Amino acid sequence: MTLPFAVPYIARRAALMLVLTLAACTMQSPVAPAPATDHFVDEHQAALHFIQPIFSVLDCEKKGEIEQGEVDEHFFELYFFADRDRSRSISAVEFAQSMPHSTPQQNLYLFQRMDTDRNELISVEEYRQFVFAALQVADTNQDGSVDEQEAAVHAFRRAGRQ
């Protein structure tokens, strides 16, 4: 005779399901904001986020600063790091793979900023334009180069991302 035991079990289970359903409804509240760290607060933060992982590539002479003129010397090294299949266009997937320290939201933001003709691909020229634009934003004292302090690379390295 299992029935007398089965009924309360089913009742308990139903009550549990109700609690879980109510909890799920609460969690799906549409007003829940995304964590602030998923998004950039401004252009400057976005520029630093982009520059930090490539700082040592662009600062080839290890002077602790990136000069505007150094970009073209290393540009294709940088570009082909992201353009893995060397198709001379960076897809959204390739871009995300080249930015493992990013959230999907951050990558989407940067990708859309780069893709100025909105063809869902980053051309060589679009990427180049963005690198220069990001360096300009990061160059807060406007002396034509971005030093380690301006790029906050020490904080980035301390965070174990490089």
Structural contact between residues 111 and 105, judged by C-beta atoms closer than 8 angstroms: no
Decide whether 8 or 69 has the Cβ nearer to Ca ion.
69
Cβ burial, residue 49 (10 Å; 0-12/13-18/19+): buried
Does residue 149 belong to the site contacting Ca ion (CB under 5 A)?
no
The residues near 70 (Cβ < 8 Å, ≥ 6 apart) are 58, 59, 60, 61
Which one of 64, 117, 154, 161 is in contact with Ca ion (CB under 5 A)? 117
Instruction: Measure CA of the first residue to CA of the last residue in the chain; give whole Å.
Output: 66
Which one of 59, 70, 139, 148 is in contact with Ca ion (CB under 5 A)? 139
Does residue 87 belong to the site contacting Ca ion (CB under 5 A)?
yes
- One symbol per residue from 55 to 84: x for binding Ca ion (CB under 5 A), - otherwise; what is it? ----------------------------x-
Decide whether 34 or 42 has the Cβ nearer to Ca ion.
42
Which one of 85, 93, 101, 149 is in contact with Ca ion (CB under 5 A)? 85
Does residue 136 belong to the site contacting Ca ion (CB under 5 A)?
no
Applying CB under 5 A, the span of 22-30, 49-57, 111-119, 153-161 interacting with Ca ion comes to: 111-119
Phi and psi of 67, rounded to 5°?
Answer: -95, 150
Nearest CA among 123, 61, 111 for reference residue 87: 123
Tally: H helices and E strands in the chain: 9, 4
C-alpha 70/C-alpha 56 separation (Å) is 11
Does residue 115 belong to the site contacting Ca ion (CB under 5 A)?
yes
Shortest reach from residue 40's CB to Ca ion, in Å:
20
Does residue 141 belong to the site contacting Ca ion (CB under 5 A)?
yes
**Site residues for Ca ion per CB under 5 A:** 83, 85, 87, 115, 117, 119, 121, 139, 141, 143
